[in-house]
Chains A and B, each alone.
Chain A
């Protein structure tokens, strides 16, 4: 049973399109995150939700909109996709405390052409 699952695993789309990535966790964690990993493997946090409430919203274009229907799900919707959005997007979940760490999903590789 996958603890943090993301769909799709690969996504190839044209510039200007709108796409969504879904994430679900079955660990009972209260907090979920979206991270972006660029081509140099650098990881940067984008958003975090705790019990459906947005708690972290880093400097991200407003074309990116997270949505959390319940604490087990955190989706990422991207409008008007640009070439620079190509990256691997990771969902993660945790207990929302400083010393616990996360469980990551396997990632969604987004390629904008």
Chain B
């Protein structure tokens, strides 16, 4: 079935370090791909998305490129801040779910940024 796998956390970085959170997926068809962020005590917020191969999604200094050949959608940021500390979720739209908009999420990766 369709699935998303993220790197295990927590990821601990110093402020201004470079961030990569790996995400790979398994899907039949051509899903859209998403990154969501969850700050402590809050719901998930859409961070960025890409709807077709080679698309790059970007927002707030984060970016991710839809790589069909490696079935990946890794999240990157050049210089993290303490305020980026959160849980990051990779997700795909389920191509087999018809027009329901169903999303399948990875297990989440916790990012801790230290000053």
Contact = CB atoms under 8 A, between A and B. Distances in A.
Best-buried of B93, B103, B104 by chain A (most CB within 10 Å): B103
Contacts of B43: 4, 90, 92, 104-107
B107 interface: yes
Interface stretch (B12-20, B45-53, B77-85): B45-53
A94 interface: yes
Contacts of B100: 31, 48, 50, 55-56, 96
A40 B93 CA distance: 22
Nearest to A105: B43
B97 interface: yes
B107 A101 contact: no
B99 interface: yes
Interface string A30-48: 0101000000111111001
Contacts of B107: 40-42
Interface size classification for chain B: 20 to 34
Nearest to B31: A98
A98 B32 contact: yes
A29 to B, nearest CB: 9
Interface in A2-43: 4, 31, 33, 40-43
Nearest to B52: A99
Interface in B26-61: 31-32, 34, 36, 38, 41-46, 49, 51
Contacts of A33: 101-102
A38 to B, nearest CB: 10
Identify the 4 closest CB pairs spanning chains A and B, nearest first: A104-B43, A99-B32, A98-B93, A41-B108
18 contacts: A4-B43, A33-B101, A40-B107, A41-B87, A41-B108, A42-B105, A43-B108, A45-B102, A48-B100, A55-B100, A97-B99, A98-B51, A98-B95, A99-B32, A99-B51, A99-B93, A101-B32, A102-B44
Interface of B: 31-32, 34, 36, 38, 41-46, 49, 51, 87, 89, 93, 95, 97-105, 107-108, 110
Given A44-B105, A48-B101, A102-B101, 4 more contacts: A55-B100, A101-B103, A102-B103, A107-B42
